[in-house]
Chains A and B, each alone.
Chain A
Amino acid sequence: MWLSPEEWDALRLSAKVALWSTAACLPFGIALGWLLERRRFPGKFWIDILVQLPMVLPPVVPGYLLLLLLGTNGPLGAWLQATFGIVVAFTWKGAVIASAVMAFPLMVQPIRLAFRLIDPRLENAAITLGARPWSVFFSVTLPLSVPGIIAGSFLCFSRSLGEFGATMAFVGNIPGETRTLPLAIYSLTHVPDGEAAAMRLSLLSIALAVLALLLSRWVSHRAERKLGFQDHRAQHAEL
């Protein structure tokens, strides 16, 4: 399957945006997953709603709000440009922000679940062996939630690869800058004789998605085995 230079650009850009989006979501996903699962604080309910919101809104809405906020005339956008000289509107960095906002709920949910499934008695065991709370977190809680963190990262990555609506609204459809795979496919369906190329990129997208799912399965399977989950089950099966 041979791709034209523009199609390669779209593929490379998609990979870059999805990787940066996942990397940006990861620390926040772990911190917020932990806070939402383990702590009570005022406003928790509304933060939870806010995080989940992009998943149920039409994607163009968060995209439009990002444009208002981070566009060159937006309050945050103007400040970023004046203070750091960073422009995010209509650049690939903006595409990363749009993808991150849309994919974040998919990162947080599995991480939350992973924290919920950890036996609190293990953390109690650690704390009575002289480990301070932060040390318990890094030596017990975090390693035990690795399968959930991996699952969340892959979901976030895949969702970022497929991001369309928010990206389109916030950073537009600029070849080589913000035209990721889905936007390239969309553009191709609008030009005469674009069907063959659109189909090629669609098949490529399917291949990428399947690859990401397989990789996710394999990596979390390995992580679970390392934690002894599989061995445990095998042992129960023997008995």
Chain B
Amino acid sequence: MLSFDVDFARGDFTMTARAEVGAGVTGVFGPSGSGKSTLLALIAGLLRPRRGVIRADGDVLVDTASDRFVPPWQRHFGLVFQDGQLFPHLTVRKNLLYGHDRIAPQARRHDLQSVAELLEIVPLLDRRPALLSGGERQRVALGRALLYSPRLLLLDEPLSSLDERLKQQILPFLRRIKEETRVPMLYVTHSRDEIDYLADAVITMDRGRLGVAP
């Protein structure tokens, strides 16, 4: 599915990451500052590696040796940020459709209604993000990424800005997405519990180094 072998450096921070990610949920686990978010940004194309190769489904997305760099808007990953990053000037409906409207109709695997029902956000569709609670915002962010029909969902600590009670509310939705849509996920977190609940495989990161745990 996805494989990467990259070096990244910025200032004092250096990172080496090499792994293969298959179907299901792959947890990326490690303390804060270990380079987890950097790894997702490299995969999404928001950062360029100093050296290395990133491949997805046989496409070469990055190859520094041949100067190949597919820009982020052509990579087709859905990225969900820590605090949702919903567009404040658009309604929930327009937020959800932002990526959906930017792909070819035949490439769309989900429709607004079924995703909104899956995430139980139907009553929120005509609201603006500022009026949503943290948990609602995160569910809309998940829906927005999902409606983009990504080949892989990249989740960057999607629950870390929520309190414990809300986390327990959102986790089942993530499991639902995993089981009902079968979209592979790379799930970055520093929470063991979330990994245990969701992940089929785990990659651990420590100070910019990466290892594969059983």
Contacts and interface: CB of A to CB of B under 8 A. Distances in A.
Contacts, number: 72
Given A130-B102, A131-B102, A226 B89 contact: yes
B128 A228 contact: yes
Interface in A206-236: 226-229, 231-232, 235
Interface in A31-46: none
A122 B130 contact: no
Contacts of B79: 124-125, 128
A231 B76 CA distance: 33
A67 interface: no
A132 interface: yes
Contacts of A191: none
A229 to B, nearest CB: 8
B89 A129 contact: no
Interface in B110-141: 128-131
A235 B133 CA distance: 10
B81 A231 contact: no
Interface in A97-146: 119, 121-122, 124-133, 135, 139-140, 143-144
Contact of B131 (A131, A228, A229): A228
Interface residues of B, number: 27
Nearest to B141: A125
Interface in B84-98: 85, 87-89, 98
A126 B98 contact: yes
Contacts of B73: 127-128, 130-133
Contacts of A131: 73, 98, 102
A125 B75 CA distance: 13
B89 A121 contact: no
Contacts of A140: 87
A128 B44 contact: yes
Given A128-B73, A131-B98, A231 B89 contact: no
Contacts of B145: 129
B103 interface: yes
A135 B99 CA distance: 12
Nearest to A123: B85
Contacts of A130: 73-74, 76, 99, 102-103, 148
A131 B90 CA distance: 15
Contacts of A231: 128, 130-131
Interface of A: 119, 121-122, 124-133, 135, 139-140, 143-144, 226-229, 231-232, 235
Given A122-B85, A125-B85, 20 more contacts: A119-B85, A124-B46, A125-B79, A127-B72, A127-B73, A128-B46, A128-B78, A129-B99, A129-B148, A130-B73, A130-B102, A130-B103, A130-B148, A131-B98, A131-B102, A228-B89, A228-B129, A229-B88, A229-B130, A235-B131
